[in-house]
Each structure stands twice: as structure tokens, then as C-alpha cells.
Amino acid sequence: MTPPRLELRRISKQYPGVRANDAVSLRVAPGEIHAVLGENGAGKSTLMKIIAGAVRADGGELLWDGVAQAVRTPAQARALGISMVYQHFSLFDSLSAAQNIWLGLDRSITLDAVRARVRELSAEYGLPLDPERPVHALSVGERQRVEILRALMTSPRLLILDEPTSVLTPQAVEALFVTLRQLAAQGCAILYISHKLDEIRALCHRCTVMRAGRVTGEVDPREQTNAGLSQLMIGAEPPRLTARATHADAPVRLRVRGLSLAPETPHGTALVDIALELRRGEILGLAGVSGNGQQELLRALSGEDRRAPRGAITWVDDVPRTARRGSASPSADRDTPADIARRHAAGGGGDAGVVVDLGPLGPGRRRALGLHHVPEERLGRGAVPAMSLAQNTLLTRREPVGVLGHVSTAKATALARRLIERFGVRAAGPQAAARSLSGGNLQKFIMGREIDAAPQALIVAQPTWGVDVGAAAQIRAELLALREAGCALLVLSEELDELFELSDRLMVMARGRLSPAIPVAEASVQRVGLWMSGLWEEDVHAAA
């Protein structure tokens, strides 16, 4: 009989405070697509890093084609034919996409040959990518394509994919599945980690389930339901989101009119005449293929890019002038963001109020108004990898900071502990470094940090990126609770199902332009897919 391409025997790995892998055994045959399923912190990513040579196991044995191997470095793994697409990208921001791919290849291949091959593979597999663009100018979805193409360039015998579709559009996912089936047919073994149960059932031949670092079972996912897989993974079915009333006539909280911006980088996307209204008590969903201006729009809304023309981005304070100072004098229009922030803290209410030009205000002053933001990049922007969770609360929360700028370590620690407990973050404690958390647990912490702040408006990109089904349900429920409390939310997601589940209205972004907003009841996957190509004008005219 042909031996397994890969066999793991009783692999163990201990970290301070947590046993990531506890006597894990697993077999993958040539041509097999094998899923590894488990909740956040179950030990999946650690196990994959051991196979790829990025982490050394404390005990156990790895067999390759029936022969015991000591894979101690990524170079040794690549020499065997093992290639991995990591959940957290391992890319150099200052280099181009092609240069990043070239670094992992044989030096006999020229950079020009790599560029040509990237163009060829991106067209063949439906993963559009400009090899000349610097990585720092790429969206998360585009960075994911770099990682996938880099793995495909090595012609792997075992391909490990850790959440490869988290930030890919449905069209790109289908194209990737075609690629993976082709690779499997050619004898490549594939280890596939995903929290998307539909994907596992549609793609994979076998599924190993892990919980708390141990293997708890192995099943044929094609014979399972989503509920059955969820039960195996987290011991329960995720709670269903409850239906809710819409707020079509709610007051506007954030308004964008005529926002046009040239790209900040040569490879960026220009924003063209952007217009949207974000209302209190609603969720506005934003769909689109990565790299069509979403990153530039979020930077302009969050305050990272302050080039917006006067009056293009405005914040509507919900406290009427008469309630603020007892008169409607002209001086009432000149309130500072700090004035408005103090009124919010005092619980002011009402529907009429002051309009604040957000254009010149940075992220800190916008947060003082109540506008919070969750970026799509977890490590480096959402959190500082080397800093503790307690220290990372200080990036956006001011409660631990005194009037004179003194930081209360005790308050920061207490805040981090509250977030860990409320959002079920698996971590060694408030002093654990952000980089020590699994991707899903770090996502829960970052999302929790902003949700817990009770924002007046929240702009969030990829809210459930890399989290398990139970945690995804919790995050979505928390977003709906914010909505019911009157928060205005703009949610950008590559998962259309998520946008349909959460949104009151939907918009689509293509080539730096925004479509009209339509009620989610009038949207469909087919219609949104058409609009992703920028064809909404023809569709709107036809509907009229």
C-alpha cells in the first residue's frame, strides 16, 4: 500500500500557560483534501506551523512518505515539498508582491521570470494581482492572494492552507476551489483549515476535529450537516440571530458627499464622488472585490487620511443646540469635538444638532466624538504584536489614561481582563502578548475593545475574519446589539452571507465608486455580483 504523504504521531507542544497540542495524530494521503476543524485556540495553527517547520514540537514523530523526518526549519519543509499559506501574512511591506514571492523561491529563478509567472498564475486561477504593487498598498484580500500565489509557485506536494478564504470574494473562493481540486488530482495532499463549514463540506474528503489541543474525532464532512460539524467543534449549535425592525427614517450620524481623493500611492485606487449616509440604529453593509477603493475609503473615514475636502465628511451631533447652552446663538455652532464628547458622556439626546466637519480631524479626535474603527489588518494596525493585551487597550481606549497623561496599569489590566472574559478570548491573561494569541482570539479581542467602548458610530472591516462559528455568532450578535442601542455601523466584509445577515442596507464598491444603497430585502447574491463589476447604473435604469 502507498504510505501517507504525511503522518503525525502523538505531536505535542507546550507554551507557558497552555498546552497547544496534546498527543495529536493525523494522516493525509496523496491527492486528499483533509480539513482540520476546531474552535479558536484549539491548536490547529500551531500544528500546521510544526509541519511547516516554523515551530518545533516538544514530542512526537513526523513521517513523510513513510519515512521519519526531523523538520526543524521552513527551508527543510520546502525541500520536502511542504508549502503553507499562513493566516497571519508573512510579507515585507516595503517590497513588491513579486519580490515577496521571489524570496521564497530558488535563487536560480530571475525576478522577471517570477513577475511573468505571477501574471500567468493569477489569470489562470482567477486571483488578480499586480506583481509590481508594493505590499503596503495592498488590501488584506490582495495580500491573501500574494500568499496563495507564492505557495502555488513552489509546485507543492503538501499544501497547507490556514483560513485561505477569510477575505476572498465568493467568485475568488470558487476559483480557488477549482485550483485545489486540480492540485489534488495531480497527487498534491492538502491540509485545509477553515471555520466556514459549507466550504469544508463542499471541498474536503476527510475532517479531523480538534478541541483544546486534542483530536476528538475524524469524520467525512460530505456526510455531515453544518449543525453536526458545529456540534463536533464547539459542543453546540451557534445561536441564531433574531429578526429586527429597520430604521429607514432614523437621523443621520455620518454623512459623506462628493468625496474624491487621488490615491496616496502610485498603485492605490482613486475615490470618485463618494456619497453615503450612515444612520443611527442601522447597519450599512459594504461589499466589493478587494482593491477597489475600500481601503482608501476606510482610511478617509477613520481619519488616517485627512485630505478630504471641506464638508465632504461630516458628523452630526445628536444634541440640539437649545439643550446644549440654552440658546441658539451663533457661538453654539463652534463647539469643539471635546465639547461634543463631554455631552455624549453626560448622556445628551435629541435628533437635531451640530454638524462637525471631520476632514481635518485625526483618529483620536474622531474617537472623542464617538466614531470608532476596526481595521482589516489585525497585527500591526489593530494591535501591536509585541505589546500585551493590557497595553493594546491604550491604542483606542482612554479610560486608563489620566488627565495629565498618566497611564494606570491597574485600569488597563482590568479593562483587558474584562474584554477577555466578556468575549471569551483564550489567552494566558491581560499580560499575554498580542502575537501569542491565535488569529481568531486576537480578532475577538480587537472587536471587543471597540464594541465595549459603546461607540456612537462604528466602522468595521472583516468583523469575523478567522473566528470560529460560535465566536462569529457572538460578534454578530454584539454588532446587532450596538445597532439596537442606536449606534450607526458601517460593515465591510468579503462574506456576502454575513452582509445579508447583518445589514439593513447594502452598497457595493467598484473602481473607487460607490453604488446606490438598497434595502437588503431588494438585494441578491446575483445582483451584488453584477454590481461588483461596476454595472449598477444599467441595473438601476433597467429596474426603473
Of 182, 202, 234, the residue that ends a domain is: 234
pLDDT in tens, 427-439: 989 999 999 888 8
Per-residue confidence (pLDDT) for residue 540, from 0 to 100: 63
335 located within any domain: no
The C-alpha cell of 538 is what? 444599467
Domain holding 366, by residue range, is: 252-317+354-543
Q: Is residue 330 part of a domain?
A: no
Per-residue pLDDT of 27-58, as tens digits, reads 999 999 999 998 888 899 899 999 999 999 99
In a domain, 85, yes or no: yes
Instruction: Report CA-CA distances (Å) from 176 to 40, 102, 144, 152, 525.
Output: 24, 21, 12, 11, 19
Pair 301, 395 in one domain: yes
- CATH number of the domain that residue 408 is part of: 3.40.50.300
Q: For residue 17, is it left (φ>0), alpha (ψ between -120 and 50) or beta?
A: left
Same domain, 161 and 49: yes
Residues 290 and 406 in one domain: yes
Question: Would you say residue 472 lies in a domain?
Answer: yes
Residues 69 and 183 in one domain: yes
Residues 144 and 213 in one domain: yes
Q: Are 74 and 210 found together in one domain?
A: yes
Q: Name, in order, each residue with C-beta under 8 angstroms of 282's C-beta and a sequence gap of 6 or more.
A: 246, 247, 248, 250, 483, 488, 489, 504, 505
pLDDT at 446 (0 to 100): 96
390 vs 379: CA distance, rounded Å: 15
The reported pLDDT for the residue numbered 326 is 34
Dump pLDDT digits (tens) for 440-475: 889 999 999 999 999 999 999 999 887 888 888 889
Nearest residue to 490 via CA among 478, 472, 502 = 502
Q: What residues of the chain score a pLDDT lower than 70? A: 167, 169, 236-248, 318-353, 538, 540-544
Please check whether residue 239 lies inside any domain of the structure. no
Q: pLDDT of 93-124, one tens digit each?
A: 889 999 999 987 877 889 999 999 999 988 87
Among 206, 234, 262, give the residue marking a domain's end. Answer: 234
Question: How confident is the model at residue 543, as a pLDDT?
Answer: 61
Grid cell at residue 533: 463589476
Q: At what angle do helices 226-234 and 469-484 cross, to 10 degrees?
A: 100
Separation between Cα atoms, residue 76 and residue 74, nearest integer Å: 5
On whether both 280 and 204 belong to a single domain, the answer is no
pTM: 0.71
What one-letter code names the amino acid at 184? A
Contact between 180 and 33 (Cβ < 8 Å): yes
Is there a domain that residue 191 lies in? yes
Residues 382 and 524 in one domain: yes
Amino acid present at 422:
R
The answer to whether residue 336 is domain-embedded is no
Looking at residue 274, its amino acid is I
* Grid cell locating 300: 478617509
Distance between CA atoms of residues 247 and 38, nearest Å: 37
Computed from CA positions of residues 355, 358, 364, 370, in that sequence, does the dihedral angle turn out positive or negative? positive
Q: Is 146 a member of any domain?
A: yes
Last residue of a domain, one of 183, 199, 234: 234
Domains in the chain: how many in total? 2
